């Protein structure tokens, strides 16, 4: 077979494109091992389900990668990324300046309000001054833990940290906590459960972007710039083709979260 100039140039061009957008064998996303409904959790068969899981599958279809989930403890998820146990964090991780000192973030793919919940009562005041002497539970190594440390602890609230959000919720239901602060969508799932019938949302806390961040993104190692570009491309494609809307409608989160934009 003769190799014409046109064929040779096409082969060179294809090789250049491949080098610019490398493929990953079974792209792995690190996810906190504990359930975080409705974003990531395992069903009775052990299959991972949730808004972020559907989002991952849609992103991977856009960037033409086969993707898997690697469960890891939340408080060790950044060290595990740096140790190359997986390729990127996909676990409702808020983009913050402090975390960005260590890892890179993709564009925001969703955002939701941070709220406080407590046992049902006529008391709707959840200001830092009002919670003096009250015990407030948060998950360790989260933006919510940083927020209560900045605003509530200095005003006299007693802050108690937990390894998982479920543990904090359980202590609230058992009367061992006065309040819990976390993501409003995740707490809404708890409030709608039998265990959460004790409690109600008191309200969303004032926004502090420096602490809470502008939203959730993929966490990526600093050196993995090609992967960062690839995932950002997938986010933009989903925003443009209506993929975000489809997933959000499936999980009935249309009025509860803001998704990535074009």
Tokens found for residue 40: 């990531």
pLDDT per residue, tens digit, the chain (262 aa), is: 333 444 344 444 444 433 344 555 589 999 999 999 999 999 999 999 999 999 999 999 999 999 999 999 999 999 999 999 999 999 999 999 999 999 999 999 999 999 999 999 999 999 999 999 999 999 999 999 999 999 999 999 999 999 999 999 999 999 999 999 999 999 999 999 999 999 999 999 999 999 999 999 999 999 999 999 999 999 999 999 999 999 999 999 999 999 996 4
5 falls within a domain: no
Final residue of a domain: which of 185, 204, 223?
204
On whether both 46 and 60 belong to a single domain, the answer is yes
148 falls within a domain: yes
15 falls within a domain: no
Instruction: Report pLDDT for 111.
Output: 96
Instruction: Report pLDDT for 261.
Output: 66
- Angle at CA of residue 150, ends 148 and 151, nearest 5°: 65
**Helices 225-241 and 51-63, packing angle to 10 deg:** 110
Domain count for the chain: 2
9 falls within a domain: no
6 falls within a domain: no
Give the whole-angstrom CA distance, residue 119 versus residue 96. Answer: 31
Rounded to two decimals, the pTM is 0.87
1 falls within a domain: no
On whether both 89 and 217 belong to a single domain, the answer is yes
Give the DSSP H or E segment for 9. Answer: helix 5-20
156 falls within a domain: yes
On whether both 96 and 166 belong to a single domain, the answer is no
First to last CA, the chain: 46
Closest to 137 measured CA to CA, from 127, 146, 145 = 145
On whether both 118 and 170 belong to a single domain, the answer is yes
On whether both 220 and 90 belong to a single domain, the answer is yes
On whether both 79 and 146 belong to a single domain, the answer is no
Structural domain of 126: 114-204
Question: Residue 86 maps to which CATH number?
Answer: 3.40.190.10
Instruction: Report pLDDT for 25.
Output: 57
On whether both 199 and 233 belong to a single domain, the answer is no
On whether both 219 and 144 belong to a single domain, the answer is no
Quote the strand ranges of the chain, DSSP E: 27-32, 41-42, 48-49, 67-72, 88-89, 104-105, 110-111, 114-119, 135-139, 158-162, 179-183, 199-204, 219-220, 258-259
On whether both 182 and 125 belong to a single domain, the answer is yes
On whether both 176 and 187 belong to a single domain, the answer is yes
DSSP single-letter state for residue 195: G
Tokens found for residue 103: 């890892």
Instruction: Report pLDDT for 183.
Output: 97
Instruction: Report pLDDT for 24.
Output: 54
Instruction: Report pLDDT for 17.
Output: 38
On whether both 173 and 221 belong to a single domain, the answer is no
45 falls within a domain: yes
Instruction: Report pLDDT for 26.
Output: 80
On whether both 121 and 197 belong to a single domain, the answer is yes
Give the whole-angstrom CA distance, residue 249 versus residue 232. Answer: 22
């Amino acid at each position: 077979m003769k190799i014409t100039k046109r064929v040779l140039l096409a082969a060179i061009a294809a090789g250049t494109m491949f080098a610019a957008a490398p493929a990953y064998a079974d792209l792995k996303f690190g996810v906190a091992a504990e359930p975080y409904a409705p974003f990531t959790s395992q069903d009775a068969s052990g299959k991972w389900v949730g808004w972020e899981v559907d989002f991952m599958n849609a992103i991977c279809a856009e960037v033409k990668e086969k993707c898997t989930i690697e469960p890891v403890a939340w408080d060790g998820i950044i060290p595990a990324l740096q140790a190359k146990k997986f390729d990127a964090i996909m676990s409702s991780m808020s983009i913050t300046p402090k975390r960005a000192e260590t890892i890179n973030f993709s564009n925001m793919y969703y955002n939701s309000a941070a709220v406080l919940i407590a046992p049902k009562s006529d008391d709707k005041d959840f200001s830092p001054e009002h919670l003096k002497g009250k015990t407030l539970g948060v998950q360790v190594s989260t933006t919510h833990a940083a927020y209560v440390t900045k605003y509530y602890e200095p005003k006299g609230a007693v802050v108690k940290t937990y390894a998982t959000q479920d543990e904090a919720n359980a202590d609230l239901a058992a009367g061992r906590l006065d309040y819990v602060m976390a993501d409003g969508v995740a707490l809404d799932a708890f409030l709608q459960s039998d265990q959460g019938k004790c409690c109600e949302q008191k309200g969303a806390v004032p926004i502090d972007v420096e602490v809470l961040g502008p939203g959730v993104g993929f966490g990526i190692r600093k050196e993995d710039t090609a992967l960062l570009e690839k995932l950002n491309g997938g986010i933009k494609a989903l925003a443009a083709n209506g993929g975000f809307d489809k997933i959000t409608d499936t999980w009935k989160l249309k009025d509860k979260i803001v998704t990535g934009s074009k």
